Structure 1
Amino acid sequence: MYPNWLAQRVKMTPKRKALTFGQHSWTFQQLFDEAMNLAGSLKTVGIDNGNRVAILSPSNPSLIVTIHACWQLGCEVVLLNERLSDGELDYQINDAQPTLLLVDKDYQARVANHPSVTLDELAEKASSKFEIEDEWPIDRTMSIMYTSGTTGNPKGVRQTVRNHTTNATASAFNMGIQSNDVWLCTMPVFHISGLSIFIRSVLYGMEVKLYSKFDLVKVVDDLVDGQVTRMSVVSVMLERILRELEERDAKVSPCLLTMLVGGGPVPSNYLERAISRGIPILQTYGMTETASQTATLAPEDAVRKLGSSGKPLYLSFIRIDQASKPFEEGEICIRGGHVTPGYIGSHTTTASQVKGWLHTGDIGYFDEEGYLFVVDRRSDLIISGGENIYPAEVESAILQHPQIREAGVCGMSDEKWGQVPVAFIVSDEDMTLASLQAFLQAKLAPYKMPKALYQVNAMPRNASNKLLRRELRAWLISKSSK
């Protein structure tokens, strides 16, 4: 059994600030009181311990209170992605089969096919009494998140008390905890990188400064003015922050202790630019199935091991499948208390582990000192004339061009070579394939050179800003059929 997260935190530091949103803030006591009142309202509408509640809402204080209310009542929470299409939402709701669907009033029309209660309607209900649990079973499912669907149909991942607590504890062992920590959260709360910040907040007694969306100017203001000490981003967010800092000719405040960068390999150009702007970058590697981080670069290694995702966190184990020596690439496999015990719905019978190991589908290697380097998704691998080409490597080289903001690479069928790489770019100026190849000549082997170039207005990304290379492949098919 583990202690009830929020109830335990209130016993320890009730007056400490828990959440800031715009001009408003909440202490842990205030957050607990609001959550308990709303939990009573859930009880009034017939929800009880062990029920499953799905929530569709923007990232705002109402969502945070609702999540805690469900947990105080002993419910599983399914966090729905507000940026999905109506069809995708319909699939996830049908798959999850929640006892209750809660929606922000602005989204109610999107789930009209399903019975729902708005968050405003719930807040108006009388609050019934219920017995709070001081302790929680460690294997209780707390949250359910659907995988990002970068490679196929999303799966509903169970995340337990043990999963979340193990992850937050291991992260604290790596980064440390400061009494004045403030975590800037612009990641969506329906994503594990967002929710994990709020779980750390309760376990650490740490304030979270929440934004509903990534507001570039305000975020950079916070970083420069020293308003926050930690932040989580993905590559595309980092690049936008860097451009804004470069336009201002500014550096971030020394108060910023950590910027965790996850969601896939980070181009070396971004890392080098971040160092020049005073950003303490720590690359991290994790996934929905591991309740966030599994490996993270330690602060003292940030410069020396630039490009690495670090070593496995203290409570994590990683091996490279079928690799027997340093630098030998293979599938990354993970074991530990943070690994999901399984899935729900249509994937209930899908095993999350094989002999205790989660097979991630990601390709990586360890160097001679045991530092993990993530190469790419196995499903995105391009095999050209028998040679392996990793899109992330080609993208990293392309992004060194000063006029290119974003890049995406995928494989295109070729009669001679089987596949050849094709590049999509978002650029400040028109660019020809020949000029790009000339720029890349000293950076890539000839077989890795893009054989076609497409300039686009924006890259296809999911809600957590991960590049969807399968969409690039669909674009190629669409173009070839015209």
Structure 2
Amino acid sequence: MAPETIAAAVDAAADRFGDHAALVDGEVRLSYRDLRTWVRRLAAVFVAGGIRPGDRVAICAPNTWHWVVAALGASYAGGVLVPLNTRFTAAEMQDVIERSEAAALVVATDFLGRNRLAELSEVGGVPELVLTTGDWTFTDEVDAAPVRPDDISDILFTSGTTGRSKGAMSAHRQALAVAAAWADCGNVGPDDRYLIINPFFHSFGYKAGILVCLLTGATLVPQAVFDVARTRELVEQERITVLPGPPTIYQSLLSEPGCDSLRLAVTGAAPVPVTLAERMQKRFGTVLTAYGLTEAVVATMCRPDDSAETVSHTSGRATAGFEVKIADTGEILLRGPNVMVGYLNDAAATEEAIDADGWLHTGDVGTLDDRGYLTITDRLKDMYVCGGFNVYPAEVEQALARLDGVTESAVIGVPDDRLGEVGLAFVVTAKPLSTEDVIEHCRALVANYKVPRHVAFLAALPRNASGKVLKRQLREEVR
């Protein structure tokens, strides 16, 4: 019988895969038995610190073995995982910690030149129990806390169009079910070595990464900071077989010999040209694209025998028990057992997102072909994707409104060779401002991936008769 809680999955993996390599992070090499031992040790730390089933445990750290062990340890102790985006400013982190009522925090004090614990201490909001990553020497262990499949396993915060983040809650059975479906589509198993570039704080990195390995016995190899040269090095050194990432990674890998161990490439976040998909299939074997969002994780996915044209032009067909349909407005609707439980402490937003018939309104626009394959054509709410992260212009526009001299602004996403899309801010000012003024102001208030890379100064923003800014016109002018 398949495990229905994260703790049960940890125990099952240790029993099933034993001394098989579970996690490889530099000199740290853990078997599945070792992984369970470390998870039980971290769970003991949380329990000793007062964490009880249902308490929230926040994690702000890069992709390292510490994140994996801490996250699974929190679940083993009965806690609810609350991942924090490592690109968040201190104020953004503090907001999530406060609204999730996190009782504990696992934090990296030195990552990308920042001490996040020191930053949080300055703005307040540090939980009573704080555990920093580093040399862990814990020895005590505890048994798994009593947790049921329908108990909440994690709360992943995702920005809303108003700029206020919302915490999407998932149950243990849901987190494991989407991971199992993803693994099934990719035929992932114990012989695979899975390089995870996607941040663990993202639903893909955690559920389609860590949990996939836990369920299948694949070896997890984390990469803390995305760097193409380092990715290539890890693929060669660790004989990586599974690698999700943006198209730019594969363009680089295809340009040079080597990396012959790869057998499964999973891509998205930016269009995949047919010619690139063809080259990837010829070189690596299986190439998949998928569609998902925090509220549903992975809803559609290509299959291993799909053509390059299908991989290029669609996001696959329904998986993980989802139904997909297109509303009269063109909006993509999803329904199934793995739609989030709801938004944390926000019944109104939950009701707006999930209608009375159980359909999740995604805010994305698309089409379904006669095979049930989904193509994303637009976004209803102007959201764009920068380096794999969703950016909601309203949040950036709110930040711009706080810059002295800015009277109004409009932010859109524009194509970028490296990141897929980046922000372009159209700004109307009451006094002279430079591009540097605008960018530096944003950098102090929002995460780096939200900071506009381009700024255009206008005398006025185009509006329709009702006064709404015509972003479509701005996009056309850019094109």
TM-score band, normalised by shorter chain? 0.7 to 0.9
SS in 2 for 1:98: coil
Report the Cα distance in structure 2 between the residues aligned to 1:56 and 1:69, rounded to whole angstroms.
Answer: 15
What are the equivalent positions in structure 2 for 1:140-151 lying under 5 Å apart?
140-148=151-159
Aligned residues: percent identity? 24
Q: 2:26 aligns with which of 8, 16, 22?
A: 22
Report the Cα distance in structure 2 between the residues aligned to 1:123 and 1:222, rounded to whole angstroms.
Answer: 23
CA offset digits 1:304-338 (Å, max 9, x no partner): 4132111111522111112xxxxxx7111111122
Report the Cα distance in structure 2 between the residues aligned to 1:288 and 1:423, rounded to whole angstroms.
Answer: 20
What are the equivalent positions in structure 2 for 1:2-401 lying under 5 Å apart?
2=4, 4-105=8-109, 106-112=115-121, 113-116=124-127, 117-120=129-132, 130-133=142-145, 136-148=147-159, 152-196=163-207, 197-223=209-235, 227-234=239-246, 238-243=247-252, 245-246=254-255, 248=256, 250=257, 252-253=259-260, 255-263=261-269, 265-268=271-274, 270-271=276-277, 274-275=280-281, 278=284, 280-290=286-296, 292-305=297-310, 306-313=312-319, 315-322=321-328, 330-346=330-346, 350-351=350-351, 352-354=353-355, 355-380=357-382
User: What amino acid is aligned across from residue 307 of structure 2 in structure 1?
Assistant: A
CA contact (8 A) 1:186 1:194 kept: yes
Residue 219 (structure 1) shift: 1.4
Report the Cα distance in structure 2 between the residues aligned to 1:22 and 1:125, rounded to whole angstroms.
Answer: 18
Report the Cα distance in structure 2 between the residues aligned to 1:480 and 1:259, rounded to whole angstroms.
Answer: 46
SS in 2 for 1:199: helix
Alpha carbons of structure 1 residues 192 and 466: separation in structure 2 relative to 1, 3 Å:
farther
Alpha carbons of structure 1 residues 362 and 127: separation in structure 2 relative to 1, 3 Å:
same
Report the Cα distance in structure 2 between the residues aligned to 1:170 and 1:99, rounded to whole angstroms.
Answer: 32
Residue 300 (structure 1) shift: 0.8
What are the equivalent positions in structure 2 for 1:387-466 lying under 5 Å apart?
424=414
User: What amino acid is aligned across from residue 281 of structure 1 in structure 2?
Assistant: V
Deviates more, 1:340-349 or 1:89-98: 340-349
Residue 265 (structure 1) shift: 4.5
Report the Cα distance in structure 2 between the residues aligned to 1:203 and 1:283, rounded to whole angstroms.
Answer: 21
* TM-score for both structures, normalised by structure 2: 0.73
CA contact (8 A) 2:94 2:126 kept: no
SS in 1 for 2:205: helix
User: What amino acid is aligned across from residue 358 of structure 2 in structure 1?
Assistant: G
SS in 2 for 1:362: strand
Residue 104 (structure 1) shift: 2.0
Report the Cα distance in structure 1 between the residues aligned to 2:318 and 2:416, rounded to whole angstroms.
Answer: 34
Aligned residues: 401
CA contact (8 A) 1:147 1:157 kept: yes
What's the C-alpha RMSD, in Å, of the aligned pairs? 3.7
Alpha carbons of structure 1 residues 425 and 262: separation in structure 2 relative to 1, 3 Å:
closer
Q: Which runs of 5+ in 1 are unaligned?
A: 323-328, 382-390, 396-407, 411-419, 429-453
Report the Cα distance in structure 2 between the residues aligned to 1:127 and 1:277, rounded to whole angstroms.
Answer: 46
Alpha carbons of structure 1 residues 348 and 11: separation in structure 2 relative to 1, 3 Å:
farther
Alpha carbons of structure 1 residues 66 and 226: separation in structure 2 relative to 1, 3 Å:
closer
Alpha carbons of structure 1 residues 378 and 471: separation in structure 2 relative to 1, 3 Å:
farther
Alpha carbons of structure 1 residues 276 and 201: separation in structure 2 relative to 1, 3 Å:
closer
Deviates more, 1:80-89 or 1:220-229: 220-229
User: What amino acid is aligned across from residue 337 of structure 2 in structure 1?
Assistant: G
